[in-house]
Amino acid sequence: MNSDTYALKVPGLRLRRLCVGLAIAATSALGIWTMFRILHAGGITPVEIAILILFAVTFSWITVSFWSAVIGFLLNLFNIDPLSLKRRAPGPYHPPARPKGSHSLTALVMPIHNEDVDRVVAGLEATCRDITHLPSDMTVEAFVLSDSTEADVVAREKTQIAALQQRLSGHIRVHYRHRDSNAGRKAGNLGDFCQRWGQHYDFMLVLDADSLMSGDCIIALIDEMMANPRLGLVQTIPIPARQDSLFGRANQFAAALYSPMLATGLSFWHGTAANYYGHNAIIRVAAFTDHCGLPELPGKPPLGGDIHSHDFVEAALLRRAGWQVRMRTDLTGSFEEMPSHILDYAKRDRRWVQGNLQHLRLLTGRGLHALSRIHFLCGALAYLTSLLWLVILTISTLDALVRALIPPNFFTSSYQLFPNWPIAPPNLIMPLLTGTLAMLLMPKLLGLILGLLRQAPAYGGRIRLTLSMLLETLFSMLIAPLMMVFHSRFVIQVISGRTVPWNAQAREGRALPWGMAWKHTWVLAAAGLIWSLATWTYTRDFWLWLTPVWLGLILAAPLVRWSSSLSIGRRLRRAGLLLVPSETQSPTVIAEMHYPEPATEAAEPAAPPKELPKDMPIQSFTRHWNKNPRAFFKRQRN
């Protein structure tokens, strides 16, 4: 890639956003108008008006993903950079031109809280050892930031980090800090680092406890930050890796095949106001310290108090201050791990529901970029749409049952000679259903086409890739009703005032026993069975259309149990299904990740560097923070 690409000159960004917005608006308007025509047959009732409003929100949400996927597909098909719109240069990575005489010091910061210490050390060591051939103008160190609260975990952290410091001596310096307070959670952990040691470092590359990153990816990110002094944050696309369960492997396959394409489409119109996912991203420390001090939201938790999903907010604050925030969709070597079964996955989503719903309170924040407000809204809609779909299905079912049980009255007046026949428009119903389904499945089909054209051997060959895509699609359709109900329940709990504990995530693969699967899903299975029997008895046409919903609910327990199975996942791997590039072409950082030997004696890690205290000002969303509005809007042009 040529150096001018890294200057982040984004041509025609306003025109891009206008065109994408018009495409989304036109497609949404067509779908909403079609639904209105369908519901309006014979007059529209208050119930149908409610269905129309809910449908408008959910259908518009679908169109955003659809058009982003189409744009990402075309850009990847022709190998075009989503920002510069120039063709990416073939061959090896070419670093951008950096200022002469420059030098950078980067910290790989890993906040941890009561994590599996062996996994933390294994991942961090693999990442550090993969950083070879570091340019002479770069220095990289690692910093483990612990706010663990369990005494035995803290003791093990110190012993294992001390051993890691010895093993990496002469390669990369590793520092360790434990703070007794868990105030602010991860954001507070990073804020404490910035205030005490941030002035030592130019950049910090934030890693989660389950992150893995290749040395080439890390060097490329540092290259970009050094070359562009206006750049505040660069987010990579973390791809799940090292998954064994059926659930984990299906999600790993989907992320590897579809995520880079979708991210490319988003980057096309997000430009330099992209988002931040909280990890596997590099940040300019001075910018973060000066502008990302998070305030407490007024009111009580869950919608008040500490900002939980801090990453979206920090990206918005950086952009508000004039710093560019971008997404690198072409970098490989950025990995993460994920929960191995549906229940742990839902538990993680429950925390994100609370954090993302808090973002709705920031939509009117002073000085925010329009794209930052869109990120807040989309983050909340990612979970609110589940509740909206559930409400639509429930209302539609009740309406269908009422129509089936109560004979229609075609004579609304005692003096009426001819009946008022409702005219159902089947010529509109089928196109709307087909079009909606096509937009839902199109990203998967486009991802498959790119995979067949570009990376088929990395997915086991074209036949296995196609079969894997069909298997993943079937699996995602079956678990969709289950996740819809989980997310709907979480949204209702947050709105009703129930807060969520933020504990360490379970990441290691484990098969769930049948008892636990039934314990968490028997109510859903019973509801699905009742739903199916009621519609089968009174309105079989509607029962047929609801098949994906009631079937997924009835099969909830088997789906939870079987999808957590490590043996099923491994058998699929041996059969060449759901394979991903990180398995067939395993990068060094994954292939050489090994758990450390158990430490025999307690040890204390070496002291961290000398502190250089610096204040981290708390930001405000309620008053204008900038004293020079003209300069502020000039910085926001791109």
Using one digit for the tens of pLDDT, what is the confidence trace for 342-353?
999 999 999 899
Q: Report the Cα 66 to chain-centroid distance in Å.
A: 16
* Cα–Cα dist 565/559, whole Å: 10
CA-to-CA distance for 217 and 3, rounded, in angstroms? 17
Beta strands in 215-274 (DSSP E): 231-235, 239-240
pLDDT category at 404 given cuts 50, 70, 90 is: confident
pLDDT at residue 604 is higher than 80: yes
pLDDT in tens, 324-335: 999 999 999 999
Cβ atoms 355, 609 nearer than 8 A: no
> For residue 42, what pLDDT is reported?
65
Segment 385-406 shows an average pLDDT of: 89
pLDDT of residue 430: 79
Three-state secondary structure call for residue 234:
strand
Q: Which of 256, 239, 240 is nearest to 248 (CA)?
A: 240
CATH number of 104-340+591-598: 3.90.550.10
Residues 208, 368: Cα–Cα separation, whole Å: 27
pLDDT digits (tens, 9 = 90+) for 196-222: 999 999 999 999 999 999 999 999 999
Domain ranges of the chain: 3-80+384-406+426-588, 104-340+591-598
- Give 505 or 350, the one with higher predicted confidence: 350
Whether the CB-CB separation of 172 and 142 falls below 8 Å is answered with yes
Closest CA to 248 of 588, 573, 591: 573
At 505 the pLDDT is 63
3-state secondary structure 108-161: EEEEECCCCHHHHHHHHHHHHHCCCCCCCCEEEEEEEEECCCCHHHHHHHHHHH
**What is residue 628's predicted lDDT score, i.e. its pLDDT?**
44
Which alpha helices (DSSP H) does 42-101 contain, by range? 46-77
User: What element of type H or E holds 463?
Assistant: helix 462-495
At 417 the pLDDT is 46
Beta bridge partners of 87: 80
The C-alpha atoms of residue 443 and residue 441 are separated, in whole angstroms, by: 6
Residue-averaged pLDDT of the chain: 89
Q: What is the mean pLDDT of residues 572-585?
A: 96
β-sheet with 324-327: strand ranges across: 174-178, 138-146, 104-112, 203-206, 281-284, 231-235, 324-327
**What whole-number distance in Å separates Cα of residue 430 and Cα of residue 426?**
6
What pLDDT band is residue 629 in, cutting at 50, 70 and 90? very low
User: Average pLDDT for residues 252-259, to the nearest whole number?
Assistant: 97
**For residue 324, which phi and psi values (nearest 5 degrees)?**
-80, 140
What percent of the chain clears pLDDT 70, i.e. is strictly above it? 90
Please state the rounded mean pLDDT for residues 390-406: 87
